[in-house]
């Protein structure tokens, strides 16, 4: 897609500095961009690349003040990250057209009573079982499995290898990336007198509300009873596990390799860094922010806290404690020297 700087500026409601006829065909990273590329700068650490980039157009914040000449045409916007997200969505639509040629592949296995909305496509070797309803303008890519009595809303994308098990519900504008598994059994086993384990059947489901995005190879388990629920706007990275009967509040996000144990309630606008572990049967208050590789073993009751460590506690307290921890060998050496001097003083008295 060729687009001029003038057209981009109008599209983004930005301010143009440079050649309005500069043309770009694709987005690229600022350190790798070449002629015909659109790059962006939103992190001060990458500012040196602004003066060396070969990009034709550079997207920057209105507050950016260059300290050296910039060869690229600048488009200034209020928020680079939001503008970039808007543009990348446009590029993505070109690469993955949502139902551009709506059709059900003759190599797909779709039960006769499945309801399919207008503009929805189903790719080769996908399976859709009885009682399922798929809304309008959805794209079901090849090799997707959708079980019995599933409900999928409008404008959804299910990428190759996605599995949605029976009775699960997916809202509007949801995206499930490759090999995500929605509605597998939760991890439930009852100990027996002979030391074996008896499986506890899981007869609930998973409910994804509207505007939810699930990363590749992420697993969201069905509830034992009731529903595992992800509310509107939840965004989940790759390789995340959400156990049975978990509830995740609106607009919460989780980075890769987060694990949330069963029956935990996560509030709204919560941010969980990569490899965070959350114990079961606890609650996490709205606005909680947890640093990567932290562990939450008990309920977080006060909202908008920043936590770090395992078990996690206040972020700033953790940083101060970690500084001391790194210096423990030197502190131990000083303590021993002081103890030696005290013994010498005492022996002279």
What would the 3-class secondary structure string for the chain be? Answer: CCEEHHHHHHHHCCEEECCCCCEECEECCCCCCCCCEEEEECCHHHHHHHCCCCCCEEEEECCCCCCCCCCCEEEEECCHHHHHHHHHHHHHHHHCCCCCCCCECCCCEECCCCEECCCCEECCCCEECCCCEECCCCEECCCCEECCCCEECCCCEECCCCEECCCCEECCCCEECCCCEEEECCCCEEECCCCCEEECCCCCEEEECCCCEECCCCEEECCCCCEEEECCCCEECCCCEECCCCEECCCCEECCCCEECCCCEECCCCEECCCCEECCCCEECCCCEECCCCEECCCECCCCCEEEECCEEEHHHHHHHHHHHHCHHHHHHHHHHHHHHHHHHHHHC
Q: Please tell me the predicted confidence (pLDDT) of residue 95.
A: 54
Contact status, residue 197 vs residue 176, Cβ threshold 8 Å: no
C-alpha neighbours within 13 Å on the C-beta side of residue 219: 14
Contact status, residue 224 vs residue 186, Cβ threshold 8 Å: yes
Q: Please tell me the predicted confidence (pLDDT) of residue 53.
A: 96
Contact status, residue 243 vs residue 187, Cβ threshold 8 Å: yes
Q: Please tell me the predicted confidence (pLDDT) of residue 92.
A: 66
Q: Which residues contact 234 (CB under 8 A, 6 or more apart)?
A: 208, 209, 212, 213, 248, 249, 250, 251, 252, 253
Which phi and psi angles does 206 have, rounded to 5°?
A: -120, 140
Contact status, residue 88 vs residue 27, Cβ threshold 8 Å: yes
Q: Which CATH superfamily is domain 3-95 in?
A: MurE/MurF, N-terminal domain (3.40.1390.10)
Contact status, residue 194 vs residue 171, Cβ threshold 8 Å: no
Tens place of pLDDT per residue across the chain (349 aa): 689 999 999 999 999 999 999 999 989 999 999 999 999 999 999 999 999 999 999 999 999 999 999 999 999 999 999 998 888 877 766 555 544 456 899 999 999 999 999 999 999 999 999 999 999 999 999 999 999 999 999 999 999 999 999 999 999 999 999 999 999 999 999 999 999 999 999 999 999 999 999 999 999 999 999 999 999 999 999 999 999 999 999 999 999 999 999 999 999 999 999 999 999 999 999 999 999 999 999 999 999 999 998 877 788 888 888 788 788 888 888 889 888 888 888 887 7
Q: Please tell me the predicted confidence (pLDDT) of residue 292.
A: 95
The pTM of the full predicted model, rounded to 2 decimals, is 0.78
Active site residues: 244
Domain ranges across the chain = 3-95, 109-316, 319-348
Q: Which CATH architecture has domain 109-316?
A: 3 Solenoid (2.160)
Q: Please tell me the predicted confidence (pLDDT) of residue 98.
A: 47
């Amino acid at each position: 897609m060729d687009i001029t700087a003038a057209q981009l500026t109008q599209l983004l409601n930005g301010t143009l500095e440079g050649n309005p006829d500069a043309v770009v065909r694709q987005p690229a990273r600022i350190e790798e961009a070449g002629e015909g590329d659109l790059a962006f700068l939103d992190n001060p650490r990458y500012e040196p690349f602004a003066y060396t980039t070969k990009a034709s157009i550079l997207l920057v914040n209105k507050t950016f003040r260059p300290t050296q000449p910039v060869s690229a045409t600048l488009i200034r916007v209020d928020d680079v990250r939001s503008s970039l997200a808007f543009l990348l969505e446009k590029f993505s639509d070109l690469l993955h057209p949502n139902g551009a040629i709506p059709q059900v592949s003759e190599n797909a296995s779709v039960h006769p009573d499945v309801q399919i909305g207008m503009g929805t496509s189903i790719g080769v070797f996908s399976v859709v079982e009885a009682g399922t309803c798929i809304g309008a303008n959805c794209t079901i890519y090849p090799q997707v499995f959708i079980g019995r009595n599933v409900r999928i809303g409008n404008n959804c994308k299910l990428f190759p290898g996605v599995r949605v098990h029976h009775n699960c519900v997916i809202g509007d504008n949801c995206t499930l990336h490759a090999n995500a598994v929605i509605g597998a059994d939760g991890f439930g086993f009852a100990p027996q007198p002979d030391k074996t384990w008896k499986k506890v059947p899981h007869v609930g489901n998973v409910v994804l509300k509207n505007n939810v995005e699930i990363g590749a190879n992420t697993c969201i388990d069905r509830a034992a009873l009731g529903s595992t629920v992800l509310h509107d706007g939840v965004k989940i990275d790759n390789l995340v596990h959400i156990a049975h009967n978990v509830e995740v509040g609106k607009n919460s996000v989780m980075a890769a390799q987060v694990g949330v144990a069963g029956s935990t309630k996560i509030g709204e606008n919560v941010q969980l860094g990569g490899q965070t572990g959350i114990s079961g049967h606890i609650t996490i208050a709205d606005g909680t922010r947890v640093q990567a590789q932290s562990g939450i073993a008990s309920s977080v009751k006060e909202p908008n806290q920043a936590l770090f460590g395992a078990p996690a506690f206040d972020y700033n307290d953790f940083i101060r404690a970690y500084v001391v921890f790194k210096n423990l060998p030197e502190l131990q050496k000083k303590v021993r020297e002081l103890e030696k001097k005290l013994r010498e003083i005492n022996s002279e008295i």
